[in-house]
Structure 1
Amino acid sequence: MNIKLTIRFTLICLTFGSIVYGQAKTANSSTALMGKRFLTFNAVIRVNQIEVSRDRNVGEDERALHTPARLVAMRKAVAEGFPGGKMTWAFSWLALQDTSANYREIRKLVVGYHKKYGDEITFIPGAYFANAYNPTEQVDKDIHDALKIITKMVGNGYRPKSIVAGFLSAKNQQYLAEKEGIHVCQGNIWSQFSIDNQDGDGAVSYPFYPSKEHFCKPAQGKADFIDCVNLDGWSVDYLAGRRAGFAEGFNSRMGVGPIETLGKYGHDVGLKEMMHTTAINFDKGFELNGFGWVTNCWELSLPYDFAYLKDWLSAIKQRWPDTRLITQGEFGLTWRKHFKSNSFNYRFVERGSGIGGSDANKEIRWFMNKHFRLGLLSNLETDGAAKVIDFTNYTLKAHEPVAMTRKWSLMGDINQKQTRLQDRPVPIDSLSEKARKLIETHYPGLTK
């Protein structure tokens, strides 16, 4: 092979996946992270549907939906679906405080699961949306006081390795790491926009260290670095996730979550979509990134048979028998041990499942590193080149909201949700010269 052909072949491999660009030095290492598939499963136990603060609720009272029998059924489904697996239990403020017989027994049972299985027990502030309803100082106080309650509840000086938060501001994640000594937080819900009670699109879908400027922005260096591994809350179908809310009649949160799959399509089709999203990460994603991660979260109050949960876990265990189901905190710390900074270079490729917003005639490719995220969308039925549906430049300054609001997204030059005039998909060679140069530093030949 002559020199010109060798260079051309290398560029093609870097662009389309034959070489794990940016991770070649670590892909074959014997670290605890690389070469493995990880699954994390979180369960939320609350009293009210949305406990926005200690003394204010938005939604329905769910006491009747939280019973010891239901808790036992959930844990049994996990144990039978994935023998030896661990999970994470996140209690709301009221669930830690409620003195009724059911909640006293639920807390006792979960402590028992920690001792029997190694499950993690932690706190969820504000029922996913703490910063939309509380100042950062109050969120810090809620975290501090709740952790003290959990330590007392579990005993033996127990401290969780992580917290579950839905969304959590950079200031609160910095407090968590520096004051509470907890370095893992489920602190962003990737691609969420115009759905539920808070927006937070703009982040990286796999773990990263957040910037002090914005929880969706990866830290660029020591000056803005927060030593808290920021995790996504639910693995989503990337094609569904490019939409805003329920645009075109589809649910943008569809992926492994039960509401959008099992609740919408039933067991067979729902499970098919859950496995499709799992495969995005455990097949091609694993090949490209050197490791795979899928995460899911169920509220205990959801009206679904936990046999469905068992079936999904069993299917994963059968198809990818090397998968490790560990606590969220353990996974985050495993990632933290491997990555001392935001040196990651994630890539994902998906062809649609044909279910819901996962268009069967589309292919989406994502490129994510500390400097930017780039989304390319192709129509498989035409010869048209892939178009840019998202370019978010993380090297630019970012700011979180000063006041309490639902609007916490980090919107780039082009955002996948297409809610602004500037978000119209464009050919990659029509991006600014500055943007193309930045992309070329990571993926030579991609903008040609």
Structure 2
Amino acid sequence: MKISVVFNSILLFLFYAGNLLGQPVLNKEVSLTGHRFLTFNTVIRVNQIEITRNKSIGQDERDQHTPDKVIAFRNAISAAFPDARITWAFSWLALHDTTDNYRQIRKIVTGYHYRYGDEITFIPGAYFANAYNTTDQVNKDLHDGLARITEIVGHHYRPLSILAGFLSSANQKYLSEKENIHVCQGNIWSQYAIDNQDGDGSVSYPYYPSEAHFCKPAQSGKDFIDCVNLDGWAVDFLAARRAGFADGFNSRMGVGPIETLGKYGKKTGIQEMMHTTAIHFDEGFKLNGFAWVTNCWELCLPYDMSCLTEWLHKTKKRWPDVKLMTQGEFGMLWRKHYKRNNFDYRFEETGSGIGGSDAGKKIRWFMNKDFRLALLSGTNGENEKVIDFTRYDVPAEEPVSGSTRNWSLLGEINQKGIRSRDRPVPVDSLSAAAKAIIRKHYPSLL
């Protein structure tokens, strides 16, 4: 018997005998309601954007991916959350690179699966697969990438989820019906004019996508896709209402390290990360009955990992009940609770004063199967106006895969303010049809 087989067998035993060694065993009795959840993802790739299997754009990142960095990264998380289970996503090239570093990395991460219960999965295109590839090619990449994951991890392993950045409805339908995977990080909430693909228009918490468009929640059994669509990064709602870098701010600011630690340094960066976390774990928890924060820290990023430990430590100290589980586990937990899109999400935020999180501003979000609605005002609620009203009960259509970067679903009024029609208006000045559907869900707003 080869040494690697013996090693993996020992690790498998240790995982299933977890309680004996102080490692957690998934509590199948955990319910969605009444709990705070944190999911943490990382990406291991070779090139910054692997647009096809053999073509890449952007920076070659081989030097940023080393076994020592993988170990330090996982230790930084365990230092704050000893029972954490995180999700590792490998790009196509990272799954197949034959250099010593990547071969060691794959073995180390496989060990973390057996030791901690970490999820190991595939990321097609290293984020933006549909901007560059046909639907059929993405399906083939998903199939072959998952097969490679099984080969690497062994014991017939299959992840519970896929990490994708953005992923079209047709590809999420394929995942559900052909690959039996029912969770996908398939949208990046509010992203517009940043990176290599746009996708504003969805709700920010989990939903089942429509066959018409991945940003649109399914309206009935006829357009229902049994794949829980998850956001990629929790962002500051006030910062996110901008397009790209409008006003000199980064619209993606939230819990992610690039827009916080990279822009403002450790002290202010962690302050904003905690502010965004609190949006969900404090008021959001009260409004929704559960709360979820998700983060993705790409392994190649150059930031001090003590910042990661500090954010997680502060989060654990302030909300000691928080559960840090894999993306797939959380998605399946949501799927167990919600059999259809009968959710009603609400969020409220007052600005932190950092970057685009405007001090003196307050934003309220309302999100359900039929529409999403955002109201912006001063901190006392004065002069509240609609800055986003996107209906989901109307027709929608995705672009042809590989044809464009713009996959947004822009409604009657969009928060980014990029069209002439996107001017803020009082809620009572909306059309009669808009007011009727809003009144159906939230009569107090009218």
TM-score (ref. length: structure 2): 0.93
Which residue identity lines up with residue 327 of structure 1 in the other structure?
T
> Is 1:363 the counterpart of 2:362 in the alignment?
yes
Gaps of 5+ in 1: 1-29
Query: Which residue number in structure 2 is paired with residue 191 of structure 1?
Result: 190
Cα shift at 1:338:
0.2
Cα shift at 1:385:
2.4
Deviations 1:188-214 (A, max 9, x none): 000000010000000000000000000
Instruction: Report SS of the residue matched to 2:48.
Output: coil
Which residue identity lines up with residue 313 of structure 1 in the other structure?
L
Tell me if structure 2 keeps the 8 A contact 1:379–1:386: yes
Which residue identity lines up with residue 106 of structure 1 in the other structure?
I
Instruction: Report SS of the residue matched to 1:413.
Output: coil
Instruction: Report SS of the residue matched to 1:310.
Output: helix
Query: Which residue number in structure 1 is paired with residue 23 of structure 2?
Result: none
> Is 1:397 the counterpart of 2:431 in the alignment?
no
Which residue identity lines up with residue 136 of structure 2 in the other structure?
E
Equivalent runs, 1:141-152 vs 2, <5 Å: 141-152=140-151
Which residue identity lines up with residue 169 of structure 2 in the other structure?
A
Which residue identity lines up with residue 408 of structure 2 in the other structure?
S
* Count of residue pairs the alignment pairs up: 417
Cα shift at 1:402:
1.9
Cα shift at 1:39:
0.2
Query: Which residue number in structure 2 is paired with residue 212 of structure 1?
Result: 211
Equivalent runs, 1:132-143 vs 2, <5 Å: 132-143=131-142
Which residue identity lines up with residue 402 of structure 1 in the other structure?
V
TM-score (ref. length: structure 1): 0.92
> Is 1:248 the counterpart of 2:255 in the alignment?
no
Query: Which residue number in structure 2 is paired with residue 328 of structure 1?
Result: 327
Instruction: Report SS of the residue matched to 2:364.
Output: strand
Tell me if structure 2 keeps the 8 A contact 1:47–1:63: yes
Query: Which residue number in structure 1 is paired with residue 8 of structure 2?
Result: none
Counterpart Cα distance in 2 of 1:445 and 1:189: 30
Instruction: Report SS of the residue matched to 1:54.
Output: coil
Give the percent of matched residue pairs that are identical in Structure 1 and Structure 2.
Answer: 68
Which residue identity lines up with residue 273 of structure 2 in the other structure?
M
Instruction: Report SS of the residue matched to 1:106.
Output: helix
Deviations 1:135-188 (A, max 9, x none): 110000000001001001000000000010000000000000000000000000
Instruction: Report SS of the residue matched to 2:440.
Output: helix
Query: Which residue number in structure 2 is paired with residue 372 of structure 1?
Result: 371
Query: Which residue number in structure 1 is paired with residue 200 of structure 2?
Result: 201
Cα shift at 1:229:
0.2
Query: Which residue number in structure 1 is paired with residue 412 of structure 2?
Result: 413
Instruction: Report SS of the residue matched to 1:363.
Output: strand
Tell me if structure 2 keeps the 8 A contact 1:31–1:338: no
Query: Which residue number in structure 2 is paired with residue 337 of structure 1?
Result: 336
Deviations 1:384-440 (A, max 9, x none): 421000000000000000252100000000000000000000000010000000001
Instruction: Report SS of the residue matched to 1:423.
Output: coil
> Is 1:221 the counterpart of 2:225 in the alignment?
no
Which residue identity lines up with residue 395 of structure 2 in the other structure?
K
Cα shift at 1:380:
2.8
Which residue identity lines up with residue 395 of structure 1 in the other structure?
D
Equivalent runs, 1:2-401 vs 2, <5 Å: 32-380=31-379, 384-401=382-399
Cα shift at 1:31:
6.5
Which residue identity lines up with residue 118 of structure 1 in the other structure?
G
Counterpart Cα distance in 1 of 2:257 and 2:30: 33
Query: Which residue number in structure 2 is paired with residue 8 of structure 1?
Result: none
Counterpart Cα distance in 1 of 2:260 and 2:316: 20
Instruction: Report SS of the residue matched to 1:374.
Output: strand
Counterpart Cα distance in 2 of 1:434 and 1:31: 41
Instruction: Report SS of the residue matched to 1:49.
Output: strand
- Structure 1: 4+ residue segments shifted above 3 A: none
RMSD: 0.9
Deviations 1:17-66 (A, max 9, x none): xxxxxxxxxxxxx9610000000000100000111110110101110110
Tell me if structure 2 keeps the 8 A contact 1:89–1:119: yes
Instruction: Report SS of the residue matched to 2:60.
Output: coil
Tell me if structure 2 keeps the 8 A contact 1:211–1:219: yes
Counterpart Cα distance in 2 of 1:306 and 1:104: 23
Deviations 1:321-364 (A, max 9, x none): 00000000000000000000000000000000000000011000
Gaps of 5+ in 2: 1-28
Deviations 1:266-310 (A, max 9, x none): 000000000000000000000000000000001110011111111
Structure 1 stretch displaced more, 48-57 or 158-167: 48-57
Instruction: Report SS of the residue matched to 1:71.
Output: helix
Counterpart Cα distance in 1 of 2:352 and 2:170: 39
Deviations 1:93-151 (A, max 9, x none): 00000000000000000000000000000000011100000011000000000100100
Counterpart Cα distance in 1 of 2:84 and 2:143: 29
Instruction: Report SS of the residue matched to 1:421.
Output: coil
Counterpart Cα distance in 2 of 1:333 and 1:73: 29
Counterpart Cα distance in 2 of 1:70 and 1:312: 19
